[in-house]
Structure formats: C-alpha cells, structure tokens
Amino acid sequence: MVLSGCAHCGIINTVKQAQKSSGTDKVHAVLGGFHLINAKPEIIQSTIAEIKTMKPDYIVPTHCTGFEAITAFSKEMPNEFVLNTAGTKYTFGV
C-alpha cells in the first residue's frame, strides 16, 4: 500500500519509489493526495493510464487530487476506485 500526503513529485514517481524500496511490484492500494488539482486533462489521463499499468487493487484519491482527476479515476477505474470522505476508516489486512 502506498499512502501519500500530497505527491508533489508525482504519484507515479511516489509509487515507483515505494516499489523499488519494498522490492515488490505488487501495489495493493494507492491512497492519498495525487497533486493533480488544476492539472491539464492530458496530465490527468497519462497519470491514470500509468496507474492502470500498476494494477492496484484499490485507488483512493484524496484532497489535492482535485475534483476533475477524482472524477476521471472513478470513471476509468470503477472497480478499484474508492471515494474518500471525512471520517472514512480504512482497514487493510489479510
């Protein structure tokens, strides 16, 4: 699982660094701020395309991801997408 506060260096870079550091390509979940607020549509689409190649079980974009990107993730990855709201509790485990 990759948890990002606000991925200023890019959520793709953040996930790739986590994969490298952990020694695994498996991504269970990507949760947090993807820093795509006010991003151009082509940046949002390329980010979604790259995330899709990583095949996460869950994708949970939050605050600084921005409405447009959150909406795009919900449409492009409906089976993996989880809408984050204040007070939501996440439990990960076996």
Q: Where are the domains positioned within the chain?
A: 2-76
What does the alpha-carbon distance between residue 87 and residue 17 come to, in Å, rounded to a whole number? 29
In Å, how far from its chain's centre is CA 12?
8
Q: Mean pLDDT across the stretch 10-27?
A: 95
Residue 90 confidence (pLDDT) above 90: no
Residue 94 confidence (pLDDT) above 80: no
pLDDT at position 22 is 95
30 contacts: CB under 8 Å, gap ≥ 6 = 1, 2, 4, 11, 15, 51, 54, 56, 58, 59, 60
CA-based R_g, the chain, Å: 12
Q: pLDDT tens digit string along 24-83?
A: 999 999 999 999 999 999 999 999 999 999 999 999 999 899 999 999 999 999 999 999
Total-model pTM: 0.91
Residue 16 confidence (pLDDT) above 70: yes
Residue 93 confidence (pLDDT) above 80: no
